[in-house]
């Protein structure tokens, strides 16, 4: 009888532990303020946040102070806002960032150091903005982009070979876009 109680006690302990681990892994890891009326990036994002979703707001400006001490963040979604430029070093407080979505904004200016410090960045979406140029220095050798989305911009004078060499895995939609741009540049 004693052995039976020990097994049940151990099982109960494991179940309780799993529940607490589940609570820890989901609490405060996603900061979700999408579809709101934000006009600026909130400065009270908890340091233990892993994903930030600020899509579908009215955010116009991001600055160096927007994302400070957020080293655990791996995904940032700023799509469908009113952002017009990506300032230098604005994401340095997020060294673990791997996925960045800035699609469907009004971005017309990207600086060569806008992605400085993002050595883990593997997916970048700048679709449907007002970009006409992108500085070649933006994709330094330390940044390894696997997915780069640029459709819906007015890009001119791009060195397709340079950007293609920065991409490890090209999704078919990007490959087709690069193929069309390359064909257009040759003709």
For the structural domain made of 29-186, what CATH number should be given?
Answer: 3.80.10.10
Q: Taking the model in full, what pTM does it have?
A: 0.73
Among 97, 99, 136, 102, which Cα is nearest to 117's? 97
Q: What is the residue-level pLDDT of the chain in tens, covering all 187 positions?
A: 555 565 555 555 555 544 444 444 445 599 999 988 999 999 999 999 999 999 999 999 999 899 999 999 999 999 999 999 999 999 999 999 999 999 999 999 999 999 998 999 999 999 999 999 888 788 776 678 889 999 999 887 654 444 554 554 445 455 455 555 554 544 4
Question: Which three-class secondary structure string do you get for the chain?
Answer: CHHHHHHHHHHHHHHHHHHHHHHHHHCCCEEECCCCCCCECCCCCCCCCCEEECCCCCCCECCCCCCCCCCCCCEEECCCCCCCEECCCCCCCCCCCCEEECCCCCCCEECCCCCCCCCCCCEEECCCCCCCCCCHHHCCCCCCECEEECCCCCCCCCCHHHHHHHECCCCHHHHHHHHHHHHHHHC
> Domain segments of the chain: what residues?
29-186
């Amino acid at each position: 009888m004693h052995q039976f109680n020990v097994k049940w006690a151990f099982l109960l302990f494991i179940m309780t532990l799993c529940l607490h681990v589940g609570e820890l892994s989901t609490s405060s890891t996603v900061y979700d303020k999408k579809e709101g009326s934000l006009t600026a990036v909130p400065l009270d994002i908890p340091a233990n946040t892993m994903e930030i979703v600020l899509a579908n707001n009215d955010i116009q400006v991001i600055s160096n102070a927007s994302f400070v001490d957020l080293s655990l963040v791996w995904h940032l979604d700023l799509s469908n806002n009113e952002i017009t430029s990506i300032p230098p070093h604005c994401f340095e407080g997020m060294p673990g960032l791997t996925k960045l979505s800035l699609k469907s904004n009004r971005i017309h200016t990207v600086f060569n150091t806008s992605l400085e410090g993002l050595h883990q960045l593997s997916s970048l979406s700048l679709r449907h903005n007002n970009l006409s140029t992108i500085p070649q220095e933006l994709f330094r050798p330390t940044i390894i982009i696997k997915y780069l989305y640029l459709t819906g911009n007015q890009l001119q004078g791009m060195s397709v070979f340079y950007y293609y060499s920065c991409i490890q895995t090209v999704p078919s939609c990007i490959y087709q876009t690069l193929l069309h741009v390359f064909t257009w540049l040759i003709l």
